[in-house]
Amino acid sequence: MQVPPPPRAHSTSAIATLPPAQAGALLCFYTKAVAIKRRQTLQGLGLLLAVTLVSAFVAEVDLVKLFVHFGNLTSYVGRLAHLDTGASVLSDLPEWFWGWKKWLRLMGETLLIAYVGTMMGGLCAFACSFLASRNMAVSKLSCFVTRRCLEFSRTVPEIVFALIFVIAFGLGPVPGVLAIALHTMGALGKLFSEVVENIDMKPVEGVAASGGSWLAQVRYGAVPQVLSNFASYALLRFEMNVRGAAVMGFVGAGGIGATLIESIRKFYYSDVSAILVLIIITVMLIDYGTEQLRHILIGKEARA
Amino acid sequence: MSGAPSLFDNLGDIKSRHPKVFESGWRSRLTVLLVISALLGLFVYGLGVLEFSFLRIWNGIGKLGVIVGLMMPPDPETMARLIMYGLSLAETLAIAFLGTGLACVLAFPLALLAARNVMTQRIVQFLTRRSLDVVRGVDTLIWALIWINVVGLGPFAGVLAIMSADIGAFGKLFSEALEAADRKPVEGVLASGGSHAQSVRFGLIPQVLPIITSQWLYYIESNTRSATIIGIVGAGGIGLHLSEMIRTLEWQQVSFIVLMILATVALIDALSSKIRFAIIGPRAL
């Protein structure tokens, strides 16, 4: 069938509208719907405002103090940017980074703490994830218990573990590593078990059908499917742990944090800025490196 | 597995019949072996450098067992202390809520500047993104120490610390959401004669608002955890009491505070996932 060309007069005039009665009814519906939506949004915003005001009261927010003392921030940053002699830090780099040998060694220690902690926690999370996922669990009870344990070690912040471990294991990097490992186990265990719950069960059933034990099912059915995702999550966690390890020293658990908090408390301004610059550069490099590695891993998975 | 003949019993036979299936390239095997041995080597080296020793771990675990024993049962001892802990827990929640909100508000314009499809000036976009990275590289605890120098000890410094640490994270997340948004609504606004600003306002922002809301709620959750620790350096919240009780070895109090934190975090988790569901429906991000 041939479509007749539209009449010329229509193509230049306005688009045909509905009859006024119908259009009026539709408009009425539209305004009502919009009014309901607006009212809901306003109610939500009102609630938000009320909660904000209450929290501001509880948290002793004092805008006047902020504005009066805002000069402190600029002057603090100014002091960070100047050496003891009053010259700008950039004018004398060797003087600014006078302690670079010690700081780099401590930064290396920080990275090692993060690495060993991630590795330990990651291995534990690997073992726990199969127990904690519904589709691979040995029994309901072990699934429940593992999940609660993971939840606990995820919710308690690592620095709290570090505070307690410092008392049990003594000062130094050991409590820092263990604290990071425990928290990593909780965080990664949850992510890993979610990955395991989303696997294709056919290979697992295949291994089970041909008489494989639980370990064989995990090793040959599940692990090949999840390994690249696991590695990607572990790299992401390592990145976060580098940041976490940098402040472990605040409570005496090794790394560069001890030197940083000492220079902040003793007002060695140029040292503070030098260490901060070092931390920021390291974190950025690690971010960049892990991102590249993750792209390689994801690419491998897409090709497979 | 009882009785039924298992394929795993005569694996050697199957291997000899289907050699190709079991053959894997020695090259990939070597790579895997090298990567694993490098990872393990660094791990063992790290254990050595960080002064791990069997004796130390053994003694430490023994002490830890004693400490856990002393923690039982969790007990605040007096009513006054219970009220004090409750109040500082409320302070912790307030810090998390306000800090996240402020960060959200401040990060939004920065995210617009950092998104490639909003900010056409490449150099501005690049610089904003790099400065967000710098802000993100500094931990909340360090920010808390810096803000204490400005507004003094107390929860306000905590609010500002959480805000500063989150601006970086939010800026990155929001700008990534903006860049991943659908082009079609934007093109629609442009095609019907809208300006670039209008295309952002009516084409992009409605798409990212649900994502922003859900990220905001998610970060309130995770910041409740961060807010419990900034008290360790004196920036308000329950962390002050917690670190004090750990340092004075009041283990029953410690376990009580930890339990309180766990309960609060669980509560906030449940609440925020409810709200998230109510606001944006099941497609939570």
Predicted local confidence at residue A179, as pLDDT: 94
Give A260's contacts in chain B (Cβ within 8 Å).
142
Please name the residue that has the structure tokens 């009870």.
Answer: A141
What's the rounded mean pLDDT across residues B209-234?
86
B128: its two tokens: 């904003």
* Spans of chain A below 50 pLDDT: 1, 9-12, 304
H helices of A249-268, in order, are 257-265
What's the rounded mean pLDDT across residues B96-117?
89
Q: Do A210 and B7 touch (CB under 8 A)?
A: yes
Would you call A168 an interface residue with chain B, using a CB distance cutoff of 8 Å? yes
| Rounded CA separation B266/B29 (Å) | 45
Of B154, B160, B137, B156, the residue nearest B233 (C-alpha): B154
Q: Do B7 and A51 touch (CB under 8 A)?
A: no
Of B210, B110, B93, the residue nearest B167 (C-alpha): B110
Higher pLDDT, B153 or B14: B153
ipTM summary value: 0.79
Give B97's contacts in chain A (Cβ within 8 Å).
51-52, 55
Predicted local confidence at residue A225, as pLDDT: 86
Average pLDDT, chain B: 84
**DSSP-derived secondary structure for A129-171:** HHHHSTTT-S-HHHHHHHHHHHHHHHHS-HHHHHHHHHHHH-S
Give A243's contacts in chain B (Cβ within 8 Å).
137, 139
| Rounded CA separation B127/B251 (Å) | 49
Of A87, A102, A114, A104, the residue nearest A281 (C-alpha): A104
Q: Above 80 in pLDDT, residue B143? A: yes
Would you call A246 an interface residue with chain B, using a CB distance cutoff of 8 Å? yes
Give B142's contacts in chain A (Cβ within 8 Å).
246-247, 260, 276
Q: Do A56 and B98 touch (CB under 8 A)?
A: yes
Would you call A58 an interface residue with chain B, using a CB distance cutoff of 8 Å? yes
Identify which of A174, A211, A243 has the shortest CB distance to residue B4: A211
Predicted local confidence at residue A2, as pLDDT: 52
Q: Above 90 in pLDDT, residue B79? A: no
Identify which of A52, A212, A284 has the shortest CB distance to residue B8: A212
Predicted local confidence at residue B281, as pLDDT: 62
Average pLDDT, chain A: 84
Q: A251 with A159: CB under 8 angstroms? A: yes
Query: How many CB atoms lie under 10 A from the CB of residue A43?
Result: 10
Would you call B243 an interface residue with chain A, using a CB distance cutoff of 8 Å? yes
Q: Do B50 and A173 touch (CB under 8 A)?
A: yes
Identify which of A173, A213, A251 has the shortest CB distance to residue B232: A251
Give B59's contacts in chain A (Cβ within 8 Å).
169
The amino acid occupying position B60 is: G
Give A236's contacts in chain B (Cβ within 8 Å).
none
pTM: 0.80
Q: Above 60 in pLDDT, residue B190? A: yes
B184: its two tokens: 């079609």
Phi, then psi, of A88 in degrees rounded to 5: -65, 145
Q: Above 60 in pLDDT, residue B86? A: yes
Predicted local confidence at residue A14, as pLDDT: 64
> For B237-276, what is each residue's pLDDT tens digit?
888 888 888 888 888 888 899 888 889 888 888 888 788 7
Predicted local confidence at residue A180, as pLDDT: 94
Domains and CATH numbers, chain A: 97-303 (1.10.3720.10)
Q: Do B137 and A279 touch (CB under 8 A)?
A: yes
What's the rounded mean pLDDT across residues B61-79?
83
Chain B window 103-132: which residues touch A at a Cβ cutoff of 8 Å?
A: none
Identify which of A112, A170, A213 has the shortest CB distance to residue B46: A112
Q: What does DSSP assign to residue B25?
A: -
**Which chain A residue has its CA at the smallest distance from B59's CA?**
A169
Which secondary-structure segment (H or E) carries B93? Answer: helix B79-114
| Rounded CA separation A286/B20 (Å) | 41
Identify which of B56, B97, B229 has the shortest CB distance to residue A160: B229
Would you call A258 an interface residue with chain B, using a CB distance cutoff of 8 Å? no
**Banded model confidence at residue B162, pLDDT cuts 50, 70, 90:** very high
Q: Do B151 and A69 touch (CB under 8 A)?
A: yes
**Which chain B residue has its CA at the smallest distance from A255's CA?**
B50
| Rounded CA separation A198/A186 (Å) | 19
Would you call A221 an interface residue with chain B, using a CB distance cutoff of 8 Å? no
Predicted local confidence at residue B268, as pLDDT: 87
CA distance A94 to chain B (A): 23
Q: Do A160 and B64 touch (CB under 8 A)?
A: no
Count interface pairs A-B at CB distance under 8 A: 178
Q: Above 70 in pLDDT, residue B216? A: yes
Phi, then psi, of A82 in degrees rounded to 5: -125, 145
Would you call A248 an interface residue with chain B, using a CB distance cutoff of 8 Å? no
Which of A40, A159, A166 would you mutate first to test chain B, the one with the most B CBs within 10 A?
Answer: A159
Q: Do A115 and B261 touch (CB under 8 A)?
A: no
